[in-house]
Amino acid sequence: MAKPAKEKTIKKPTLFLALVPIITMVVLLSLGYVMFELPPEPLIIASTVVAGMIAIKLGYSYDDIMGSIAQKIAKTMPAILILITVGFMIGAWMVGGTIPMMIFYGLKIINPQFLLITAFLVTSVVSICTGTSWGSAGTIGVAFMGVGAGLDANLAAVAGAVVAGAYFGDKLSPLSDTTNIASLATGVNLYEHIGHLLYTTLPSFVVAGIAYVITGLNMNAAGVAIPEKVGTILDTLSTIYDWNLLLVVPVLIVLYGSITKKPTIPIMLISSAVAMANAMIFQGFTLHDVVSSVLNGFDIAMVHAKGFDASAVIPDIPRLLNRGGMNSMMGTLLICFCAITFAGTISLTKSLELIVNKILKYVRSTGSLIVATIITGLTMIGVTSNGQVSILMPGEMLREAYIRRGLHPKNLGRTIEDSATIIEPILPWTAAGAYMAGTLGVATLSYLPWAMLCWTGIIFATIWGYTGFGIAKLTPEQQKEMLKEYESSDAEELGQKQGA
């Protein structure tokens, strides 16, 4: 007679055991990533191993852990496909001339009398169109710093305006990796997430804009010529591309999809198809060039076929244009998979639920929940210095708490972005802070006061949290539907215990 299967005993984690994996990740990222500049992915995997060992100690099997991870990956697959499509679209927009035309006309409207507000607005537009704060600051931003140097302007103010504009676009662009990751982490539709960001981002934008106008009017900017570098960039772009209004159509398609809330991936693919057609019809690129651009990113060397000497251009041009492609998203996807693996492992043991419940004991209102989220985001970005991890982990930890309180998860996504995404460039020890300081030639703490959009967001987030303005509530039907995934997870765990 066969012996009955041994009953599997599942223990509940203590607060100490629940904190061990998270503390491990924080320590590893703080020492390895920040101090020794090690890549974050292996460090997150090492933290996952620790989390897995604790799960086994509590009675879970290896198959349980893998099942939980697979479940997490399955839920995030639609957002992962969007990230890949974003890379595809950026490559198409670049080879088709859509993004370069936005940059070209943005630079042409520079008016030295309104340097700060122009730098802010143009960098915002370029960043929205490209989805990269680093790329827009490292190209257009550098050009504006040259303008500021020629005007003998306050370079800290110019750098602050550039950083604020770059992160305004990065935060609101459907092409931005952090925006897509925040949408992924909270389970909110990409365009719905972007729309909700406007509640805190637009007031910050207006406050910053007013400050730049007032400051700019006091600058003695009359009669100063625009630096030669800007003219060189304009001439080079005009040589590479042929401009016409049809190049804007891919942008209009995405805007239409955003406004009408159409499915994200089909809209992006349609926009990309139009941009690819523009590349072959108006820009003279071959089908091979276009396919290479959407796969590996645009490469200025492709322009050789048009009789253009790519080796003779100033370094700013390749840095501005050589980007996009599906492969450009692989690094972002890798860190997402690593973070999801970690989240799947610790969610199996209900460690996050235990930690969040301890935190939420001190939360008495929507406002205090928003503040708790802000503190979590600031702590994560301050300690890990990694914007992607600082979005993914609070999103995983706090999403259920928002739903159970009848608050839409897009409130969580917005607050995480306010306290992590746009805070990162104003912290000197983060990769973004170091990049901006090195690229723009101004110390992080010097431009921090002028990068107003980066720190006023948490002020508005707190005010809206306590006043209720801009706080989206769930209908009972929505709340019930969203809670199903957590209840089904609990039921599955109970079934595993009973069937063990």
Smallest Cα–Cα separation from 162: which of 184, 132, 133? Answer: 133
Q: Report residue 407: phi and psi, to 5°.
A: -105, 135
Contact of 129 with 173, CB cutoff 8 Å: yes
Interval 368-392: pLDDT, tens: 999 999 988 887 787 666 677 788 8
Which pLDDT score, from 0 to 100, does residue 3 have?
Answer: 54
Q: 219 to each of 112, 113, 158, 222, 224, how far by Cα in Å?
A: 9, 7, 12, 9, 12
pLDDT of residue 319: 73
**Exposed/middle/buried for 257, CB within 10 Å: 0-12, 13-18, 19+?**
buried
Residue 150 is predicted with a pLDDT of 58
Query: Given this model, what pLDDT does residue 371 score?
Result: 92
Output the pLDDT for position 140.
75
- Which residues of the chain are under the pLDDT cut of 70? 1-8, 34, 110-112, 139, 146, 149-152, 219-227, 258, 261, 304-308, 310, 383-386, 429, 431, 486-500
Dist. CA 209–CA 116, nearest whole Å: 9
- The alpha helices in 305-428, defined as continuous H runs, are 316-321, 330-348, 351-360, 366-384, 387-404, 409-416
pTM: 0.70
Buried b (16+ CB within 10 A) or exposed e, 75-104: ebebbbebbbbbbbbbbbbbbbbbbbbbbb
Name the residue type at position 293: S
Q: Output the pLDDT for position 122.
A: 87
